[in-house]
């Protein structure tokens, strides 16, 4: 089993849902984790699940809807003594369901701020140091959502994530900073809702694949967590 002993990962939005699973999966491989939620107190449940695994845990709070909140997250993470080796951009928000014509500019902006601009700011903050150290894994959460115009802002942010992931991967080619996207599948979380296809736990072990890539492995790719569902139990 591949290990991540001694590495540090920041998993945004790890207070619940998919991010919580990813943080647990990384910790089971020996990776130290920085947990994140809108409020630091939201991370307590995840912390209690990971503590028995014996890795180091830090928690940071910050609302990604504002530039100040994003800056707070970045400054808080940079105060952790060890550099970030794995940046898992998982935090996400889905706009309120309504006819595409009725979606306001503020709603479009809110979706892009949380799902896209915050991710860009986090990459800008941590990728250059990864390049200097010659190691980094950046994974951005995308979605296979399609033909739901009522959620157009959400879908458009994920299309932007895909494009940005490809461009950043190209920028960081031959640096051993590997940048990939993860489609988790439709999962039963607060965001995915109770009618989703899969339990949240099925994001593992697939979500770990782009974090566990060998040096100079694939970059700019899309990984689908459900493709690895048959490996259930190996997470
Ligand atoms: N569930 C699905 O079916 C599905 C499918 C495709 C892609 N995804 C993507 O997977 C990622 C995780 O989704 P999920 O289903 O796990 O969602 P979730 O259960 O609703 O959890 C969202 C996470 O993001 C954090 N978050 C939300 N808004 C935030 C904000 N303004 N500032 C800071 N943190 C914020 C939450 O923190 P708090 O607890 O503090 O609110 C929470 O940790 C998202 O990027 C989503 O787009 C999900």
Give the pLDDT of residue 24.
Answer: 98
| Catalytic residue numbers, as ranges | 154
Whether 16 maps to a domain, the answer reads yes
Mutation test of ligand 1: which of 12, 13, 19, 160 has the most ligand atoms closer than 8 Å to its C-beta? Answer: 13
Residue 129 has a CB neighbour count (10 Å cut-off) of 14
Whether the model pTM is above 0.95: yes
Give the pLDDT of residue 233.
Answer: 55
Whether 1 maps to a domain, the answer reads no
Whether 3 maps to a domain, the answer reads no
How many angstroms is it from 96 CA to the middle of ligand 1? 14
The CA–CA distances, whole Å, from 33 to 77, 106, 206 equal 11, 33, 18
Q: What is the pLDDT of residues 6-59, one digit of tens each?
A: 999 999 999 999 999 999 999 999 999 999 999 999 999 999 999 999 999 999
- Does the structure show a pLDDT above 80 at 92? yes
Whether 49 maps to a domain, the answer reads yes
Total domains, the chain? 1
Indicate if ligand 1 lies below 6 Å from the C-beta of 4: no
How many angstroms is it from 2 CA to the middle of ligand 1? 27
CATH number at residue 165: 3.40.50.720
- Angstrom distance (rounded) from CA 150 to CA 214: 40
Whether 12 maps to a domain, the answer reads yes
Mutation test of ligand 1: which of 10, 12, 17 has the most ligand atoms closer than 8 Å to its C-beta? Answer: 17
Give the pLDDT of residue 81.
Answer: 87
Residue 230: pLDDT band (50, 70, 90) is confident
Whether 77 maps to a domain, the answer reads yes
How many angstroms is it from 35 CA to the middle of ligand 1? 13
Indicate if ligand 1 lies below 6 Å from the C-beta of 119: no
Give the strands of the sheet with 8-11, arranged side by side.
57-61, 32-37, 8-11, 86-89, 136-141, 177-183, 222-224
Indicate if ligand 1 lies below 6 Å from the C-beta of 205: no
Largest CA distance in the chain: 50
- Angstrom distance (rounded) from CA 195 to CA 221: 28
* Start-to-end CA span in the chain (Å): 9
Give the pLDDT of residue 72.
Answer: 98
- Does the structure show a pLDDT above 90 at 67? yes
Indicate if ligand 1 lies below 6 Å from the C-beta of 49: no
Cis amide leading into 205 (omega within 30): yes
Give the pLDDT of residue 232.
Answer: 60
Contact 23, 92 (CB under 8 A): no
Atom 21 of ligand 1 has which residue's CA nearest to it? 17
Whether 2 maps to a domain, the answer reads no
How many angstroms is it from 67 CA to the middle of ligand 1? 18
Atom 7 of ligand 1 has which residue's CA nearest to it? 143
How many angstroms is it from 46 CA to the middle of ligand 1? 14
Tell me which residue range forms the domain holding 52: 8-231
């Amino acid at each position: 089993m591949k290990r991540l002993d001694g590495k540090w990962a920041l998993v945004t939005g790890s207070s619940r849902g998919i991010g919580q699973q990813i943080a647990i999966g990384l910790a089971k491989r020996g990776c130290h984790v920085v947990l994140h939620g809108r409020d630091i107190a939201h991370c307590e449940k995840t912390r209690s699940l990971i503590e028995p695994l014996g890795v180091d845990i830090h928690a940071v709070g910050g609302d990604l809807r504002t530039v100040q909140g994003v800056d707070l997250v970045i400054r808080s993470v940079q105060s952790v003594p060890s550099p970030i080796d794995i940046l898992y951009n998982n935090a996400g928000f889905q706009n309120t369901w309504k006819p595409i014509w009725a979606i306001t500019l503020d709603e479009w902006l809110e979706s892009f701020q949380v799902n896209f601009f915050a991710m860009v700011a986090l990459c800008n903050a941590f990728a250059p140091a990864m390049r200097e150290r010659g190691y980094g894994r950046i994974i951005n959460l995308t979605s296979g959502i399609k033909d739901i115009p009522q959620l157009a802002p959400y879908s458009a942010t994920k299309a932007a994530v895909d494009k940005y992931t490809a461009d950043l991967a190209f920028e960081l080619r031959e640096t051993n900073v590997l940048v990939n996207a993860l489609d988790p599948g439709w999962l039963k979380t607060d965001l995915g809702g109770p009618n989703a296809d899969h339990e949240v736990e099925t994001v593992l072990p697939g979500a770990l694949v782009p974090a566990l890539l060998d040096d100079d492995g694939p970059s700019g790719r899309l990984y689908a967590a459900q493709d690895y569902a048959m490996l259930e139990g190996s997470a």
